């Protein structure tokens, strides 16, 4: 790619003119890891330039919107967790859109006869743009123009089509042909771009350039005002009117008023402790608390004595996860609309009672939800269907010890692209239910329950550990396994990421039609036949998969031990992940 850095004091060639190179903090170490190598390098450029973890994380996150359009889009979702070293504070940014005000359950039941069709009918307010810009305005140090420069280069000048993206476009080619605006982007000249070709997205580049222009018009009022001007152009300006108009032309309900009213939330995290570590996730509007609940359940077991990836350990792990998912199904939803007993669910006493349900044999399906004093959702029924595993991830730790963890998502291939702008509107409505008794049921201005769930941990020795991954319902499962690999089994970050995994689907899938296969457990081939046989003997329906399946998620993490002056990062080879440090 053009736009390379020169010697200190020189200017940077590329989309951002006359930007002076600022050397990184002398004697301090930083690292970035993401699910795509070009996004990692985009963030690293910003760290080299002197940006902080938030600047670099936003740059890499927007670059992921460009280079992984089969997994994430600028008009999608982007939940974020941030650690601020100066204050020791952890904050989260919801990065999740809301159903349009006119989207009622009765309307959907009547119009679609109990189905939730793909495409525009699943549209919620796009939230990623707001999440990126809010994080940058409140916690970054650079301008939008500076951090978006790598993504703009990748969109305008292109990048080499790689096998995973080519396969994803090929698999969706017939559907894309039915959406002319999407075909223009992903099927240039009517064909799937071949591996090795340069793939450009001029519409997305135009989006970035227009937002840069809006920022520039207000830059005289200060950095923050310029970023807000870019945000307002997206949500209250001409672009907002085009998004709403296009959605309604396609039969959707999103209005200009929905966009103008929307804003992401900056919130305290959900948190727990595990063997001296403090673990932080986003709230129950996503599945993040499953990570915390599962760690609470595992804390009383001597996992190291059980042995790494033995049948005994994996059985306990899976049964603990299933208890967490049982509570997810019963209670998690948008706290603005449903009462989520999160304090009870995360208490150590509650975990002690639930732990008694982990026996020598596997639950045939989902265990019962715990007693919280809140009426749980309906009992799930077995449903056959696909199990989706989209999404991307990025984490950063800068030289001052700040950390950034984000899980951008919503494939640009799952809904038609807004003509001329290169991104699709969030299809996250796919994670709502059409059962009025479910805590994550569809409703006006209500948020679906989100699968993406970035996390952070702070160690007893001052370690800073952002971690997360793509992979749908597999995310908390992979995250817990990697974190336990670090803490209980003493593996280094790359070893922890590469360790073989198991992924359960013995609970309703978060994506419509919410498929549910009671007892089923996917086991990576590297786990071994003997362990798989013993898990089957314990009642798990074991399905042996490949050695390195992408569906087992792609965890990226950083362990920054400032006391020891060491920063280590891991990047998952199950996808196109890459870690860089200095």
CATH 1.10.246.130 spans which residues of the chain?
A: 293-388+472-564
At residue 179's C-alpha, the angle toward residues 256 and 246, to 5°, is 15
List helix spans (H) across 68-192.
105-112, 128-139, 144-156, 163-171, 173-177, 180-186
Give me the pLDDT at residue 121, please: 98
505 and 476 Cβ atoms separated by less than 8 Å: no
Q: What predicted TM-score, i.e. pTM, was given to this entire model?
A: 0.94
* Bridge partners, residue 34, by sequence: 394, 578
Give me the pLDDT at residue 15, please: 28
DSSP state, residue 261: H
pLDDT digits (tens, 9 = 90+) for 105-154: 999 999 999 999 999 999 999 999 999 999 999 999 999 999 999 999 99
Pairing of strands 541-544, 520-523: parallel
128 and 74 Cβ atoms separated by less than 8 Å: yes
Angstrom CA distances, 327 to 298, 365, 483, 528, stand at 16, 14, 21, 31
Q: Counting runs of H as helices and runs of E as strands, what totals does the chain give?
A: 20, 18
Give me the pLDDT at residue 14, please: 26
Residue 325, token pair as written in the block: 């998912």
Pairing of strands 520-523, 455-458: unpaired
Residues of the chain with pLDDT under 50: 1-27
Q: Of 194, 195, 226, which is closest to residue 213 (Cα–Cα)?
A: 226
Looking at 470-517, which runs of residues are DSSP E strands?
502-504
Sort residue 276 into left (φ over 0), alpha (ψ -120 to 50) or beta: left
Pairing of strands 520-523, 556-561: unpaired
Q: Of 130, 125, 22, which is closest to residue 78 (Cα–Cα)?
A: 130
Q: Which helix (H) or strand (E) is 520 found in, with range?
A: strand 520-523
Residue 393, token pair as written in the block: 């991830």
Classify 190 as helix, strand or coil. helix
Residues whose CB is less than 8 angstroms from the CB of residue 13 and which lie 6 or more positions away in sequence, other chains included: 2, 3, 4, 6
Architecture of the domain made up of 293-388+472-564? Orthogonal Bundle (1.10)
Structural Rg of the chain based on CA atoms: 22
442 and 361 Cβ atoms separated by less than 8 Å: no
What DSSP line would sit under 154-178, residue for residue? Answer: HHHT-EE--HHHHHHHHHTHHHHHT
Give me the pLDDT at residue 11, please: 21
d(CA 18, CA 385): 53
d(CA 201, CA 158): 7
Give me the pLDDT at residue 28, please: 67
């Amino acid at each position: 790619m053009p736009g390379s850095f020169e010697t200190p004091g020189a200017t940077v060639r590329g989309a951002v003119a006359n930007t002076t190179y600022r050397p990184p903090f002398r004697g301090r170490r930083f690292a970035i890891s993401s699910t795509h190598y070009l996004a990692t390098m985009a963030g690293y450029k910003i760290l080299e330039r002197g940006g902080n973890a938030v600047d670099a994380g936003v740059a890499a996150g927007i670059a992921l919107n460009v280079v992984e359009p089969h997994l994430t889009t600028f008009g999608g979702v982007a939940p974020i967790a941030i650690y601020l070293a100066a204050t020791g504070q952890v904050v989260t940014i919801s990065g999740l859109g809301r159903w349009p005000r006119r989207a009622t359950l009765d309307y959907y039941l009547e119009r679609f006869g109990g189905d939730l069709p793909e495409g525009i009918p699943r549209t919620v307010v796009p939230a990623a743009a707001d999440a990126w810009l809010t994080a940058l305005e409140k916690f970054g140090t650079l301008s939008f123009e500076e951090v978006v420069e790598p993504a703009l280069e990748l969109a305008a000048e292109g990048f080499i089509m790689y096998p995973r993206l080519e396969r994803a476009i090929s698999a969706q080619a017939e559907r894309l042909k039915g959406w002319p605006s999407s075909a223009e982007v992903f099927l240039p000249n009517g064909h799937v771009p071949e591996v090795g070709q340069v793939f450009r997205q001029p519409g997305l580049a135009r989006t970035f350039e227009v937002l840069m222009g809006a920022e520039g018009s207000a830059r005289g009022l200060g950095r923050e005002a310029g970023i807000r001007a870019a945000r307002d152009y997206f949500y209250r300006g001409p672009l907002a009117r085009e998004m709403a108009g296009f959605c309604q032309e396609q039969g959707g309900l999103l209005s200009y008023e929905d966009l103008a009213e929307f804003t992401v939330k900056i919130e305290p995290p959900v948190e727990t402790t595990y063997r001296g570590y403090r673990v932080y996730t986003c709230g129950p509007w996503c599945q993040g608390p499953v990570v915390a609940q599962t760690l609470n359940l595992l804390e009383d077991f001597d996992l190291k004595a059980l042995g790494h990836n033995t049948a005994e350990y994996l059985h306990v792990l899976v049964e603990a996860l299933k208890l967490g998912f049982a509570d997810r199904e019963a209670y998690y939803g948008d706290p603005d609309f449903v009462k989520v007993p999160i304090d009870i669910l995360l208490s150590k006493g509650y975990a002690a009672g639930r732990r008694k349900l982990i026996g020598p044999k596997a639950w045939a399906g989902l265990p019962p939800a715990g007693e919280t004093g809140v009426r749980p959702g309906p009992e799930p029924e077995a449903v056959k269907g696909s199990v989706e595993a989209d999404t991307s991830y990025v984490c950063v730790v800068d030289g001052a010890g700040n950390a950034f963890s984000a899980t951008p998502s919503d494939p640009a291939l799952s809904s038609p692209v807004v003509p001329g702008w290169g991104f699709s509107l969030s299809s996250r409505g796919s994670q709502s239910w059409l059962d009025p008794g479910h805590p994550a049921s569809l409703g006006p201005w209500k948020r679906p329950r989100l699968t993406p769930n970035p996390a952070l941990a702070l160690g007893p020795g001052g370690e800073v550990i952002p971690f997360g991954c793509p992979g749908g319902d597999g995310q908390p499962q992979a995250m817990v396994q990697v974190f336990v690999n670090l803490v209980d089994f003493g593996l280094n970050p790359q070893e922890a990421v590469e360790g073989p995994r198991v992924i359960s689907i013995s609970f309703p899938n978060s994506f419509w039609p919410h498929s549910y296969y009671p007892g089923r457990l996917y086991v990576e081939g590297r786990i071994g036949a003997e362990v798989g046989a013993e898990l089957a003997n314990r009642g798990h329906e074991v399905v042996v998969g490949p050695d390195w399946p992408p569906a087992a998620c792609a965890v990226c993490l950083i362990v920054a031990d400032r006391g020891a002056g060491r920063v280590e990062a891991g990047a998952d080879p199950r996808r196109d992940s890459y870690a860089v440090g200095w």
